[in-house]
């Protein structure tokens, strides 16, 4: 039996811990894995693009465990009442090839993206940062706000979205959490939102080369957390922001970011720093308070590996909450796979010689 975490499972796990504590714990797991960057088999994700979206597979392995994530990105889905991003993932044992965990990753991707954003900002933003502009107030925005409030001490969020109802939704959800010292300011434009901000997070969904931030919006000392530009032809920053003499651009995995990140707008020899180099001390993050740091975030498979490993650990710690799915056959004789389908000895086959098979379902799979 393979362990299984569905929507009810992630609700239970995060509900038990609280989203802030979950994100902080996940950020610690991601940092630990980035610190052993050299252990991982790394590749850019495999993407199949269509005019309306993308479907991707994101694999990696450290030689002990293997993981992959299936994820889509369809910005127009919200008009159909559907999510822009959905995902699931698998964690497997390399020695046997057997899957250990099948898990939802739609909610978990939002949690891990927020964890990665806050982790990068801890190393790149000014330590005295207290004000953040949050541009793009859709499905990922609450997670980003919780992460930055909890892990970096952000007290004021300046909110903007072209859809004012999305901003209203974000404000309601954050106010309902009762986060201590939290201040929210609704803004009428991206330019207004960035005024006085120490950190600017952009998390928009349009699959196009959008310009959410322009050079004149950027002040010395800002940290830019560019999350929404995460596939070919999808960007959020004017290229001249990246070219600033006082700017430092940090990426997750350079070969993937060259294809999908903000730096897809620039020549292949444009200098960037991988986040793992900052953690190892091989490269500096922020070198001066007035420097502009840019985290060109596209999401990398290592972060999903960390999330799946973290979820697997939390699931195993909760014996009563464990769920399983009969994904892999359990055989007395591993050479007799057909025996699963053969009728029991002495019992007749089904009508017209068809084999009668009874499927085993775990308690959470039985129809209501």
Which residues form the catalytic set? Answer: 230
Q: Is 185 exposed, middle or buried (0-12, 13-18, 19+ CB in 10 A)?
A: middle
Tell me which H or E stretch contains 115.
helix 106-124
CA dihedral angle for residue 345, residue 349, residue 353, residue 359, rounded to 10 degrees: -110
131 close to 199: Cβ distance less than 8 angstroms:
yes
Q: How far apart are CA 260 and CA 236, in angstroms?
A: 12
Q: How far apart are CA 67 and CA 309, in angstroms?
A: 9
In the three-class reduction of DSSP (H, G, I as helix; E, B as strand; rest coil), residue 224 is classed as strand
Ramachandran angles phi, psi of 10, nearest 5°: -70, -35
Q: How far apart are CA 133 and CA 158, in angstroms?
A: 5
Q: How far apart are CA 324 and CA 312, in angstroms?
A: 12
DSSP 159: E
DSSP 45: P
Q: What is the 3-state secondary structure (H, E, C) of 327-355?
A: CCCCCCCCCCHHHHCCCCCCCCCCHHHCC
């Amino acid at each position: 039996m393979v362990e299984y975490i569905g929507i009810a499972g992630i609700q239970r796990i995060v509900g038990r811990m609280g989203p802030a504590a979950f994100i902080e714990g996940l950020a610690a797991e991601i940092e630990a894995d980035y610190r052993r960057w050299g252990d991982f088999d790394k590749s850019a994700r495999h993407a199949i693009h269509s005019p309306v979206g993308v479907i991707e597979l994101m694999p990696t392995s450290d030689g002990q465990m293997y993981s992959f994530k299936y994820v889509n990105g369809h910005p127009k889905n919200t008009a159909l009442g559907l999510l822009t991003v959905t995902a699931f993932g698998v964690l497997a044992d390399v020695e046997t090839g057997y899957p250990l965990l099948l898990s939802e990753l739609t909610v978990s991707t939002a949690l891990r993206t927020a964890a990665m954003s806050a982790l990068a900002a801890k190393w790149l933003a000014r330590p005295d940062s207290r004000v953040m502009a949050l541009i793009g107030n859709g499905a990922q925005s609450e997670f980003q706000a919780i992460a930055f409030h909890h892990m970096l001490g952000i007290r004021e969020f300046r909110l903007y979205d072209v859809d004012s109802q999305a901003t209203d939704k974000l404000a309601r959800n954050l106010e309902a959490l009762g986060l201590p010292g939290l201040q929210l300011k609704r803004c009428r434009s991206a330019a207004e939102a960035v005024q006085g901000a120490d950190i600017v997070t952009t998390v928009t969904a349009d699959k196009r080369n959008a310009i959410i931030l322009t050079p004149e919006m950027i002040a010395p000392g800002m940290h830019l957390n560019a999350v929404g530009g995460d596939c070919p032809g999808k960007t959020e920053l004017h290229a001249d922001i990246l070219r600033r003499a006082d700017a430092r651009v940090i990426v997750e995995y350079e070969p993937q970011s060259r294809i999908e990140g903000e730096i897809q707008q620039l020549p292949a020899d444009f200098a960037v720093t991988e986040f793992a180099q900052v953690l190892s001390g091989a490269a500096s993050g922020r070198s001066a308070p007035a420097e502009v740091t840019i985290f060109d975030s596209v999401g990398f498979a290592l972060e999903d590996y960390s999330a799946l490993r973290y979820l697997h650990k939390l699931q195993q710690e909760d014996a009563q909450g464990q769920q399983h799915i009969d994904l892999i056959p359990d055989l007395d004789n591993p050479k007799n796979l057909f025996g699963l389908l053969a009728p029991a000895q002495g019992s007749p086959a089904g009508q017209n010689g068809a084999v009668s098979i009874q499927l085993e379902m775990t308690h959470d799979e039985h129809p209501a």
